[in-house]
Amino acid sequence: MSEITIKYAQLVDLASLQTLMDDLYRVIGIPNAIIDTDGIVITSAGWQDACVKFHRVNHNTCRNCIESDTALVESMLKGERFAIYKCLNGLVDSAMPIIVEGQHVANIFTGQCFIEPPDLEFFREQARRYGFEEASYLQSISKVPVISKLRLETITKMYAELAHTFAKHGADRSQQKQAAAELAELNNELNRRVEERTEQLIQNNQHLLLEKRAVAASEARLSALFKHMSSGVAVYRASEDGRDFTIIGFNKAAEQIEKITRKELIGKKLTEMFPGISEFGLLDVIRRVARTGEPEAFPPSFYRDERIQGWRESYVYKLPNGEIVSIYNDVTERKLAEKALHLTQFSVDRATECLYWITADARFQFVNNTACEVLGYSREELLSFSVMDIDKYLAAEDWPAHWRELKQKGALKMEAIHRCKDGREIPVEVAANYLVFEGLEYNCAFVRDISERKALQAELERQARIDYLTGIANRRYFMEQGEAELARHDRYGNPLSVLMLDIDYFKAVNDNFGHAAGDQALKKLGSILVDVLREIDIPGRMGGEEFAILLPETGLLKAIDVAERLRSVVASSAIPVESGQILKFTVSIGVATLIDKNSSIGDLLNLADKGLYQAKHSGRNKVCSFSQ
């Protein structure tokens, strides 16, 4: 018996398949087409302008396209599982066969892309050779995606598996219908033989015996088919008014689906044993099939009563003897998976964190809406990028080590700087998670914008270092900077000096002008230090009216010059106070220079403090140095 030829278009819902392939193109960005083995285009999505508007229009370049198509088809006919071909027009196409029930029924074609950056000079020459308008042609070439060969094969495989799944589902439905037809044919054969053999019974008892044996064999085949089908099968007989039905057959698969035994059901009314059948909608279908004799498919619907609930998909037809057969499947798991997928996609698209699915070659496989909003790129743009395109400090040569670490640990948390389309750079926290799915490695990365947190940390750190009144370093930060400068002195041998300042008669300032005026004097001194000193010099408030200054790369004589300049500027300054008076004040300054390499910053400050003591007790408004 010859094998039945399967036609791909007869297995699938073409409109649903086209919608799916269009959606996949919009997500992935790689064109696709399904063409059966007779050369008929089943679906196509996302053809590139370079092909549609140029290559397929020009007679010569169209011949190149046909050569590419022919080469790929020949590869499929040779039994190759994947074929890739760079056509003479410069673009790359690939193909995989679609095999259903062991038959090669169609091919999936993807491509119209590059697997390496295009040679624009080649396409300029091609524009001149075939008379294409160069700017428009090169613009269409720039829209062609560049992906790796591995990713092209992965995408082609995904398209092929989806196309195969659609066809397999259709083949399963076809098998159900075929089984139903076989069941009906067997029943008709049984009735015919019974009638023939009954007539012959009158003529010959021997013939009757042979006929009984034949009937028994047919019944055995019918019973075996009914018993071992993977789908549930129920057989009904209509009541006299055609409104209800008696259950007269129920196979094992149906017992498992409905969680009830055949013994409990046979001879009972359908509406009695399945009280939700009317609301479910199947009762109307059974009544209609019983009345018209026309078979009907009942789409997936949710059944519920006090005993059971779940999704069912049915096919109902009428036997010649008037009995009604319903072949059905429990599709609850499939519907729950579809619901979970829908809910997951809804959650992902509305998550406040950026979500990226990243392949082992650092390319983006999927990005959610938040990622597009935060970075300012479209989904298509991001899916053409690698991680290095948005991560400021991640270099391509560092990616393999990063991936190995993620693969070893399973999860990583880190901070990074991401570049936005408008040029902004934002600090982010990345939670990377390693996953293997269908043999391919992925990083599922959740990314959070931490700009506000970083700004708060910076402000807190600044407040922890700066004296709130004067705006210069506080004592703790000044000492930290002093230790750092001391270490730099030890390393490079550059001189280091320190000044100690104290406002003269500061108590009298507070007593005569008030504490607010005293605060103004402290602020004024802080601003003078910032204005007069170099950027590398470090002023700090040590407490009260006492200040200190670190002078890196400064010897004793130069330090004394700096101190005298500060003293002079302070003495010439004047501060208007609330009473209308003018406040003037002076400072005494002690100077010390590091000589002993074993000295600490505290030792150096003590020396400067002794110089300050000398200046105070020799008349104030003076500069004195103290040597070891």
**CA 269 – CA 277 distance, rounded (Å):** 11
Backbone angles phi, psi at 445, to 5 degrees: -110, 125
Q: Which of 426, 422, 478, 420 is nearest to 601 (CA)?
A: 478
Query: CB burial class (10 A; 0-12, 13-18, 19+) of residue 339?
Result: exposed
Structure tokens at 476: 């703790």
| Tokens, residue 139 | 């613009």
Amino acid symbol at 287: R
Tokens at residue 112, please?
């119209």
C-alpha distances in Å from residue 504, one per residue of 158, 347, 585, 620: 83, 68, 7, 7
How far apart CA 251 and CA 259 sit, in angstroms, is: 12
What is the SS3 assignment for 69-117?
HHHHHHHHHCCCCCEEEECCCCCEEEEEEEEECCEEEEEEEEEEEECCC
Q: Which two tokens mark 36? A: 């059966």
Is-contact 430 415, C-beta < 8 A? yes
392, 417 contact by CB (below 8 A):
yes
Output the six-digit token pair for 366: 């999927």
Alpha-carbon distance values, 368 to 387, 389, 506 (Å): 15, 17, 64
Q: Which residues contact 346 (CB under 8 A, 6 or more apart)?
A: none
**Distance (Å, rounded) from C-alpha 87 to C-alpha 433?**
39
Q: Are strands 587-593 and 623-625 parallel, antiparallel or unpaired?
A: parallel
Burial class of residue 48 (count of CB atoms within 10 Å of its CB; 0-12, 13-18, 19+): buried
DSSP string over 365-413: EEE-HHHHHHH---HHHHHT-BGGGTBTT--GGGHHHHHHHHHHHSEEE
- Determine the Cα–Cα distance for residues 318 and 23; give it in Å rounded to an integer: 39
| Cα–Cα distance list, 554 to 107, 192, 398 (Å) | 80, 119, 43
Alpha-carbon distances of 256 from 145, 250, 265, 340, 464, rounded to whole Å = 50, 10, 13, 25, 71
> Residue 359 carries which DSSP code?
E
Furthest CA-CA distance within the chain: 153
- Here the tokens at position 204 are 């010959």
DSSP class of residue 473?
B
DSSP state of 8: G
Residues serving a catalytic function are: 545
445 within 8 A of 430, measured Cβ to Cβ: yes
- Residue 459 DSSP SS3: helix
Chain mean position to CA 506: 65
Cβ–Cβ < 8 Å for 95, 72: yes
